[in-house]
Amino acid sequence: MLNDAEKYRQFEAEDFAADESFLAWVLSGKQAEAWEAWLIQNKDKATTINEAKQIVAFMRSEEKEIESQQIENLWNKIDIATKDTATRVVPFYQSTVGRAGMGIAASIMLLLGFFLWNQSTNSYETGIGEQLAVTLPDGSVATLNAGSSISFDEKTWKESREVQLSGEAFFEVEEGERFSVKTSVGEVTVLGTSFNVQERNKRLQVACYTGKVSVKNEYAVSQILTPGKRISVEKDKIKLDEFTPANSVAWKEGIFRFDDIELKFVLEELQRQYNVKIDLATDINNRRYSGSFTKGDLEEALKMICLPMELSYQIAEDSRMVVIDEE
């Protein structure tokens, strides 16, 4: 249970982002169970919590250090500018070195300022068991699933609405010019719609909720999706199927559904959502799974996966390790 749990009822996003306990949860997963339990009891604060996570993610992105090579280049400029300067004794501010030093200091400030100003790429990521709603410059929203990241260039957004995605995200796109989601295994393009993109283990799955979605990859796969259509792409192999679009994508509600998918992929998702390590004591390479698990109770989730597969499981005392074997 969270200490002073009641005080958080009065918090706004900025208050959460400055709270030590909240930061420990978002950045390192500490007290995850306590915070998740608090959220279940205070569902009306979900939007505020997501806004606070965005603030924390933004602050982290702003803390990126200048690369060492760029620092070295700046010092090289200092070496060049100060080389061969006179050594006669005069007041520092009148000396060549002094004037050069002051000029160099100003130049460094300008160079650093330009460098920092030029860093217009915004990046966000989620840790184990996290979700994060990111509002894009045009008002579109990308909700990241656990273990995912997204980046975009704010300076060029008006000319090119383009994001880079690793992992899984649900997009609600405002109408406008072309909107592209690029992944390591393919590209998704729309004008204004809502859709889910999952890119894991060189496999791309896209589900269209509203509007139209175009999916392409380097293996000449090209497919248009309409609402209720879903595609799974792995190199040049595709699988098309239909689903019933709900008001919200299932994983945002803590439900993870799978249809004839490799069991190892399902267990990887379990690890991301529950922050556990799976130790396989049997070979599952040829096993495929159809079914679902829900987030909330690890043992119930394991039952939903293992029982249909005729597998047994053993949860460690600290709930951080699960051994899976034959029954």
Q: What is the pLDDT of residues 62-117, one digit of tens each?
A: 544 444 455 455 555 445 544 444 433 444 444 444 444 444 444 444 444 444 44
Cα dihedral sign for 20, 25, 27, 29? Answer: positive
pLDDT over 80 at 174, yes or no: yes
Question: How many beta carbons lie within 10 A of that of residue 49, not counting itself?
Answer: 23
CATH 2.60.40.10, domain 254-326, yes or no = no
pLDDT > 70 in the chain, percent: 80
List phi, psi (to 5°) of 102.
Answer: -65, -40
> How far is it, in rounded angstroms, from Cα 223 to Cα 131?
29
What pLDDT score was predicted for residue 73? 54
Spans of all domains in the chain: 68-118, 141-250, 254-326
Instruction: Report d(CA 301, CA 292) in Å as an integer.
Output: 8
pLDDT of residue 135: 94
For the full predicted model, state whether its pTM sits above 0.75. Answer: no
| Class (C level, CATH) for 141-250 | mainly beta
d(CA 257, CA 32): 23
Tens digits of residue pLDDT in 242-290: 988 876 689 998 999 998 889 999 999 999 999 999 999 999 988 999 9
Tell me the backbone φ, ψ of residue 284, rounded to 5 degrees: -120, 15
How many residues make up the chain in this entry?
A: 327
